[in-house]
Chain A
């Protein structure tokens, strides 16, 4: 029977030049529910689909506020996301104490990258099994970053992570060039539409309970929308869909 000899810990290379432990961790990111992030000239919006373990349980937390100017959406192991949330909050507090200033988003993400990388180079450790979409605003404007278990990080205009994120990604790729100029409301609508694409493939409905949306901008502190605030956008989404179905020329929602 086939057995992989080179995947027992992150310090072992395979002869093909790969580190399987890291690749497995990257797979864990794809197991989480879909999260999306998108950026305009002034704001960043994060969106997440939430699962409930059973009908009796609460929905899992997908969005984390780190500081007034930054937060993230996580896909993968929630326990690892919580550890990183705690680390990032500490980093931001440290900066606030020492310099009386908000930590630039890029530096926070680089810190997370360094910390994740350290886990990929030590025997007896394992990489974090979580990918983050970090949204924040600092003196250089709004930013959206993705972090990986490998320690890599990238900046994006728009990005989706998690299971069935491909359909959300396709939606974002089609529309991201228009995001720069749109209003916050429209940016939130785009986030919901992208999430809808991902949930449709799983035959799920999106409701105020199963979706989380957060916004952040220069004048807007990081805020996770309440169910009531979210419902307004969901109603708008529903009416747009009905209009598209009833109208002569259906709106293109692909």
Chain B
């Protein structure tokens, strides 16, 4: 148990991330486990408090992104009401899965960037695509230092100059691309097939929202780190609208689920 916790921590002595240019202070931070001062620098090799799925899709006249509000400590759903959205400027919103503390840090970084923009007082504000590029560079730079921000980010926004919705993806390797529909975390396995089947570019906002709720329902039933309380943000030409937290209605008393497996015929017991 102690071993397990030690492995999860940043700068645990037996992590394998290292950098070839030594920095004395980094070694000091590694604590008493490092005696020689000549060992490689150690970074996060696995995240600690993580959040799971974010799904975003473009509909006719905007972009919608949905996430649940859960943050896990390991596999335990430890925090159940964490907002995973960060609005930057007046027409971009970023939603994150992965290490929650890295997301909190990036939130501060993006807000600072936005403030630097605002103090120019010249009427120019960043496009969502440009904020995505900035985040992509940030992630790529950090991963090149072998100390990645452990997140997958999904950005939604409205491109003012071309007057169209924007949806983009950035991950811990610095991969950056725009897409019509994107899912991160466990949703990239469970939700993508649903989206492939049911997504249309000409959906209305309500249809898009219903599809996302369906995806999160599937995830809630099957992903142990998924949660039924969800929140979504909508980006349109009017700006960003962040919803209140709502709870999906779920049902567990299906007859099949109530019957003990031992009493089911063999063909039905694969569940």
- A interface residues, Cβ below 8 angstroms from B: 97-101, 104, 106-107, 110, 138-140
Q: Does B130 contact A101, Cβ atoms closer than 8 Å?
A: yes
Q: How many angstroms between the C-alpha atoms of A104 and B127 in the bound complex?
A: 13
Q: Does A107 contact B122, Cβ atoms closer than 8 Å?
A: yes
Q: Does B134 contact A140, Cβ atoms closer than 8 Å?
A: no
Interface centre among A98, A99, A138 (most CB of B within 10 A): A99
Query: Closest 9 A-B residue pairs measured CB to CB?
Result: A100-B133, A99-B130, A101-B130, A104-B124, A106-B122, A140-B123, A99-B133, A99-B134, A139-B161
Residue on A nearest B133 in the bound complex, by CB: A100
CB distance from B84 to the nearest CB of A (A): 24
CB distance from A154 to the nearest CB of B (A): 14
Interface residues of B in 122-161 (CB under 8 A from A): 122-124, 126-127, 129-134, 137, 160-161
B120 within 8 A of A: yes
**Could you give 22 example pairs across A and B, Cβ below 8 Å?**
A98-B133, A98-B134, A99-B126, A99-B130, A99-B131, A99-B133, A99-B134, A100-B129, A100-B130, A100-B133, A101-B129, A101-B130, A101-B133, A104-B122, A106-B120, A106-B122, A107-B120, A110-B120, A138-B124, A139-B161, A140-B122, A140-B124
Interface centre among B120, B122, B129, B161 (most CB of A within 10 A): B122
Q: Does A106 contact B133, Cβ atoms closer than 8 Å?
A: no
Q: Does A139 contact B160, Cβ atoms closer than 8 Å?
A: yes
* Residues of the B chain whose Cβ atoms lie less than 8 Å from the Cβ of A98: 133-134, 137
Q: How many angstroms between the C-alpha atoms of A234 and B36 in the bound complex?
A: 77
CB distance from A108 to the nearest CB of B (A): 11
CB distance from A51 to the nearest CB of B (A): 36
Residue on A nearest B122 in the bound complex, by CB: A106
Given contacts A139-B160, A139-B161, A97 and B137 within 8 Å (CB-CB) = yes
Residue on A nearest B126 in the bound complex, by CB: A99
Can you name 11 extra interface pairs (CB under 8 A) apart from A104-B124, A106-B120, A139-B124? Answer: A97-B137, A98-B133, A99-B131, A100-B129, A100-B132, A100-B133, A101-B126, A104-B122, A107-B124, A139-B160, A140-B123
CB distance from A183 to the nearest CB of B (A): 24
Q: How many angstroms between the C-alpha atoms of A140 and B120 in the bound complex?
A: 14
Q: How many angstroms between the C-alpha atoms of A100 and B120 in the bound complex?
A: 19
* Residues of the B chain whose Cβ atoms lie less than 8 Å from the Cβ of A99: 126, 130-131, 133-134
* Residues of the A chain whose Cβ atoms lie less than 8 Å from the Cβ of B126: 99, 101
CB distance from B62 to the nearest CB of A (A): 21
* Residues of the B chain whose Cβ atoms lie less than 8 Å from the Cβ of A138: 124
* Residues of the B chain whose Cβ atoms lie less than 8 Å from the Cβ of A97: 137
Interface centre among B124, B132, B134 (most CB of A within 10 A): B124
* Residues of the B chain whose Cβ atoms lie less than 8 Å from the Cβ of A110: 120
CB distance from B68 to the nearest CB of A (A): 31
* Residues of the A chain whose Cβ atoms lie less than 8 Å from the Cβ of B137: 97-98
* Residues of the B chain whose Cβ atoms lie less than 8 Å from the Cβ of A139: 124, 160-161
* Residues of the A chain whose Cβ atoms lie less than 8 Å from the Cβ of B127: 101
Given contacts A98-B134, A99-B134, A106 and B124 within 8 Å (CB-CB) = yes
Q: How many angstroms between the C-alpha atoms of A104 and B126 in the bound complex?
A: 11
Q: How many angstroms between the C-alpha atoms of A139 and B122 in the bound complex?
A: 11
Residue on A nearest B137 in the bound complex, by CB: A98
Q: How many angstroms between the C-alpha atoms of A139 and B162 in the bound complex?
A: 10
Residue on B nearest A110 in the bound complex, by CB: B120
* Residues of the B chain whose Cβ atoms lie less than 8 Å from the Cβ of A107: 120, 122, 124
Residue on A nearest B176 in the bound complex, by CB: A100
Residue on B nearest A100 in the bound complex, by CB: B133
Q: How many angstroms between the C-alpha atoms of A106 and B120 in the bound complex?
A: 9
* Residues of the B chain whose Cβ atoms lie less than 8 Å from the Cβ of A100: 129-130, 132-133
* Residues of the A chain whose Cβ atoms lie less than 8 Å from the Cβ of B129: 100-101
Q: How many angstroms between the C-alpha atoms of A98 and B129 in the bound complex?
A: 11
CB distance from A192 to the nearest CB of B (A): 32
Residue on A nearest B134 in the bound complex, by CB: A99
* Residues of the B chain whose Cβ atoms lie less than 8 Å from the Cβ of A140: 122-124
Q: How many angstroms between the C-alpha atoms of A107 and B124 in the bound complex?
A: 10
* Residues of the A chain whose Cβ atoms lie less than 8 Å from the Cβ of B133: 98-101
* Residues of the B chain whose Cβ atoms lie less than 8 Å from the Cβ of A104: 122, 124
Q: How many angstroms between the C-alpha atoms of A139 and B134 in the bound complex?
A: 18
Residue on B nearest A103 in the bound complex, by CB: B124
CB distance from B180 to the nearest CB of A (A): 20
CB distance from A195 to the nearest CB of B (A): 30
Residue on A nearest B120 in the bound complex, by CB: A107
